[in-house]
């Protein structure tokens, strides 16, 4: 296998509330090009993420050249995506897409430490695609399922594995129950939306 191109990492489904808490990043080897992982608080590593939500706002925040910021909102919070000259396709999507639109984003987690010591987490998108409501709804269901599975494994120390142990160590102040509640709340919100959209039955003559 040596010398072959590295396989692409699986893009993890994660809600904004958990993603924004994934402030610790690490490599698993000293090689310069080794993948950088964000440690999800529920005990999973993520080199790439797959998120779907409503693109609510776009803005060119660059000074010397275009550098686009997009806000993507899911039922639990907001993702921030940033794309510039090294992500030309994603940058053009942010430039040309008129919010609000449902979008799917595949990209890499990035962390940035602010002057006051806080760590902000964002997505550096590989691709941004306009999608329909059904795609958004399926993503919510699948992401909730994945989140609940990770929380269940986290609670079972034997099943959780090394990344759950790492998360316990790195995020002592975070409670994984918050992500379970967020996932269940997202599913409830989806049910309410679908109920509201169902047509009223016509009265029989």
Does residue 201 sit within a domain?
no
Q: Could you give the CA distance from residue 8 to residue 200 in angstroms, rounded to a whole number?
A: 47
Does residue 205 sit within a domain?
no
Does residue 203 sit within a domain?
no
- Rounded mean pLDDT, 122-136: 97
Residue 82 class from Cβ within 10 Å (0-12 exposed, 13-18 middle, 19+ buried)? buried
- Rounded mean pLDDT, 46-54: 98
- How many CB atoms are closer than 10 A to CB 185? 15
* Lowest mean pLDDT, pick from 2-16, 38-52, 172-186: 2-16
Spell out the residues 6+ positions from residue 3 whose beta carbon is closer than 8 angstroms to its own: none
The CATH number that applies at residue 164 is 2.40.50.140
Spell out the residues 6+ positions from residue 104 whose beta carbon is closer than 8 angstroms to its own: 50, 51, 52, 127, 128, 129, 131, 135, 139
Q: Quick one: pLDDT at residue 156?
A: 86
Which residue range forms the structural domain that includes residue 34?
Answer: 11-190
Does residue 52 sit within a domain?
yes
User: For the chain, what is the domain count?
Assistant: 1
pLDDT bin (cut points 50, 70, 90) of residue 204 is: low
Does residue 154 sit within a domain?
yes
Does residue 51 sit within a domain?
yes
Does residue 199 sit within a domain?
no
Spell out the residues 6+ positions from residue 41 whose beta carbon is closer than 8 angstroms to its own: 18, 21, 22, 167, 171, 174, 176, 179
Does residue 196 sit within a domain?
no
């Amino acid at each position: 296998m040596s010398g072959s191109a590295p396989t692409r990492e699986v893009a993890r489904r994660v809600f904004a509330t958990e993603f924004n808490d994934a402030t610790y990043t690490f490599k698993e080897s000293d090689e310069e090009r080794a993948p950088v992982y964000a440690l999800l608080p529920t005990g999973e590593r993520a080199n790439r993420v797959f998120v779907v939500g409503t693109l609510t706002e776009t803005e060119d925040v660059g000074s010397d050249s275009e550098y686009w910021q997009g806000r993507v909102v899911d039922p639990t919070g907001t993702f921030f995506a940033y794309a510039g000259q090294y992500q030309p396709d994603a940058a053009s999507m942010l430039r040309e897409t008129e919010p609000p639109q449902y979008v799917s984003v595949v990209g890499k987690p990035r962390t940035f430490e602010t002057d006051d010591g806080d760590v902000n987490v964002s997505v550096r998108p590989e691709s941004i695609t306009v999608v329909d409501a059904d795609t958004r709804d399926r993503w919510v269901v699948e992401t909730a399922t994945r989140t609940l599975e990770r929380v269940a494994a986290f609670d079972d120390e034997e099943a959780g594995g090394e990344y759950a142990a790492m998360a316990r160590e790195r995020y002592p102040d975070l409670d994984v129950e918050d992500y379970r509640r967020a996932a269940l709340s997202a599913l409830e919100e989806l049910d309410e939306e679908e109920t509201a959209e169902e047509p009223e039955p016509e009265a029989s003559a």
